[in-house]
Each structure stands twice: as C-alpha cells, then as structure tokens.
Amino acid sequence: MRPAASATVQVDDARVRVTRFDFEPGAETGWHVHAHDYVITALTDCEMLLEEPGGGKRTVTVPKGDSYRRAAGVEHNVICAGPGMSFVEVELK
C-alpha cells in the first residue's frame, strides 16, 4: 500500500479546475480517468512512474518548470519515483 499524494484544489469554476499535487517518495494518485483535457506544470523535477491499463508501466521525467498536455480519457496511476515531487494540473472543462 502506497501513501496517497496530496491534492489541493486551488480553482474550480465553470471553465477550469486547478489542482496542486504534492508527493512524498513512493506516493501515488491512485487509478483515475481524466474527464477533461489537461495541462501539467512541474513545480519540482518530477520523476513519475506511470501505471497504465493492461499492466503497462513507464517512467517519465518532467523537469522543473516544464509543462505537457494530454487529452481527456487518459487512465493511469501516477507514482512518485524520485525523492518527492510537486506539480500543478489545469483541467480545461
């Protein structure tokens, strides 16, 4: 059993939801499906282990200050594979 990442909703209105995620080493989001397109911006260097449907796993590193976007429908579990990490997720409703 892994510890849960901390999720703090900063904005939630008709157009966007902004959530800050903070992870201790080994913490996870838990399995989830994204209902909206979203953008992630790394507040720290983020070493992520992504568990994907069908048993797939991959490691992704997002350097501090970098961003990426994904489309609605993504299903995964995000696990901190480094010494801790934080990012902000902006969901476009």
| DSSP result, 31-86 | SEE-SSEEEEEESS-EEEEEEEGGGEEEEEEE-TT-EEEE-TT-EEEEEE-SS-EE
pLDDT in tens, 36-87: 999 999 999 999 999 999 999 999 999 999 999 999 999 999 999 999 999 9
**Diameter of the chain by CA atoms?**
35
pLDDT in tens, 16-38: 999 999 999 999 999 999 999 99
pTM of the entire structure?
0.95
Domains, in order of start, for the chain: 6-92 (2.60.120.10)
> Distance between CA 41 and CA 90 in Å, rounded?
8
- Strands across the sheet containing 85-92: 6-12, 16-23, 85-92, 37-42, 67-70
